[in-house]
Structure 1
Amino acid sequence: MSTTEPVDTLETTGAYSKYDEYEESGVEWLGEIPTHWETIRLNWAADYINGYMFSPDERGDEGLPIIRIAQLT
């Protein structure tokens, strides 16, 4: 089995998948991550728009998801 494939799935075990190998993430509160993952700053992965209220018409099922600040805490 490849180290990038989970050993079990949430559906079969009721728990998150486990990987074969882990390493320290370099982020104290995060701890260990699978060796094939990488950590990057959130602002490198997405655009951050503070103070803009999206109308219900702008929230759709297509395109990039909108994440509210309250969902990050």
Structure 2
Amino acid sequence: MFWKRKREEVRTLRLEVDHQARQIAKIEEALNDATRLMAKEFNLKLLEDYWLHPFSYNPLERIATRTVTKHVKEDD
């Protein structure tokens, strides 16, 4: 009985973590979209975009490279 309850607790926690990971992925995607829009609006060029594993349980795999921008020359 004890182990059955513990397995259920672990399953519940995994579902919660999965839900939170999906929420974070949505926020990160919205941030990427906003960054692209802002770059277009202010004539910036994106050098790198976010790279991520949105549904990974491993926090190290969720580390995203930061978006880097630079000014685009007018003749580009």
Q: TM-score, normalised by structure 1?
A: 0.17
Higher helix residue share: 2
Larger Rg: 2
Which structure is higher in RCO with an 8 Å CA cutoff and minimum separation 6? Answer: 2
